Amino acid sequence: MKREQLQARCDPDTVEAVKEFQDDKDITKSEAVRRLIRAGLEAKDEDEYGPKRKAGQAYTLISILVIAILTFILQLIFVAGGAI
């Protein structure tokens, strides 16, 4: 499966949360971010159709997801703008 690179700037609290998750699971930073983004997507689905997750956890995961998506969109805009 082809993977695309995403980049994001995060506040120190978010970076620390990712680092703690990475250390707890003994995985790479990239894998930690992938898992957290996936968990954020799943939490969003559960929030709409089932039990709610803890507010702090959902906020952190969704924040990471939003930052990653916005960064990706901005990269696409700059690449498209450079091609014109």
2-59 pLDDT per residue, tens: 888 888 899 999 999 999 999 999 999 999 999 998 888 887 766 554 555 566 666 7
pLDDT tens across 62-81, in order? 888 888 888 888 888 887 77
> Whole domain around residue 31: which residue ranges?
12-83
Q: Is residue 4 part of a domain?
A: no
**CA gap 82, 65 in Å, rounded:** 26
Overall domain count for the chain = 1
Q: Is residue 18 part of a domain?
A: yes
